Structure 1
Amino acid sequence: MTPDPGTPQRPEVGALIELIQTRYHDTHRREFPEAIRLARKVEAVHAAEPECPRGLADLLALMLDDLESHQQREERVLFPMLLAGGSPMVRFPIARMMAEHLDVEEQLIRLRTLTHDFANPLGACDTWRGLTQLCRKLDADLREHMRLENEELFAPFMD
């Protein structure tokens, strides 16, 4: 049977994993340290200002630690299992990854709160504006990364 041309086709597992690793995992590994650096600078320079995102650097550092552990488990254990075709046992690591995605969503709520919904205060310096822009990007990237894994990569193995 020929697929309906109007129906989106699920990308091949290997291509999806490659996309996730290059577009998201590698990008997170580059961008989180820069966001932490910027947050530390903003917190140090603007500590006395009421809008200062106090605790943002610590939150970003925690997120990076959690994310690195999560991504390593995916890359070393889960992705090879999926590339091998999966097995009934693959449901357990997938369920764990999906539960961790819920934790990331909670962290993203905190990120949005600390950055005042990604809004800069009047007269924000270049560093603060750059930090806000990068945090907005991290939020969007993480949300799309998790959606891609949950809905496109993991879902077929959970049926």
Structure 2
Amino acid sequence: MNDRADAAGDADVPQETGALIDHILTRYHAMHRQDLALLAPLADRVEQVHADDPDAPKGLARAIRALAREMEDHMAKEEMILFPAMRAGGRPGIGHPIAVMRAEHDDHAATIALIRRLTDDLTPPDHACGSWAALYGGTASLLDDLAAHVALENDVLFPRFETR
């Protein structure tokens, strides 16, 4: 979850559509799944260990799991419907599933805002233990990656097919 390149500045982002989709699948979809699988149990542990601490991120594990469900549903639609259509060169009407994906990108903002609110914008208190700090750092990396992922799809991949 550390030291990942920003998609906008990542010189390794392929230009060819199929290779770009492969990049999104391996660099973002796979990493999001891995990160979320680690963050939810870590959030559970921090919430349990620090249950009496008023600064504890109560409800964070639930919010991370909600984001994971939203993202899994979204990524599955891309993987099963949208990306195969794009690999095939697009088709009439592809603008509709792209519009749905864009709307879902926007919808993730509510859960992300909740996560930021529960964590004081991912700023651990001075007395936070190592697990608490790691939870916030990992969540910050996930959200940064998610923003780069969304930008790559919205600004690079989707426009290739929206004029068809």
- Same-fold call, TM > 0.5? yes
Q: Percent identity?
A: 41
Whole-angstrom CA distance in 2 between matches of 1:15 and 1:110: 34
**Which of 152, 155, 160 is residue 156 of structure 1 equivalent to?**
160
Letter in 1 for 2:43: A
What does residue 39 of structure 1 align with? Answer: 43
Q: RMSD value over aligned CA atoms?
A: 1.6
What does residue 7 of structure 1 align with? Answer: none
**Which of 59, 74, 77 is residue 73 of structure 1 equivalent to?**
77
What does residue 12 of structure 1 align with? Answer: 16
Residue correspondences, number: 152
1:89 counterpart = 2:93: yes
Whole-angstrom CA distance in 1 between matches of 2:92 and 2:59: 42
Does the aligned pair in 1 maintain the 2:66–2:111 contact within 8 Å? no
User: Which consecutive unaligned segments of at least 5 residues does structure 1 have?
Assistant: 1-9
Deviations 1:19-51 (A, max 9, x none): 100000000111101110110001111111111
Q: Deviation at 1:58?
A: 0.4
1:5-154 → structure 2 map (5 Å cutoff) = 11-154=15-158
Structure 2 length as normaliser, TM-score?
A: 0.88
Structure 1 length as normaliser, TM-score?
A: 0.91
What does residue 4 of structure 1 align with? Answer: none
SS at match of 2:102: helix
Which has more radius of gyration? 1
Structure 1 moving runs of 4+ over 6 Å: none
Whole-angstrom CA distance in 1 between matches of 2:118 and 2:148: 21
User: Which consecutive unaligned segments of at least 5 residues does structure 2 have?
Assistant: 1-13
Whole-angstrom CA distance in 2 between matches of 1:54 and 1:156: 42
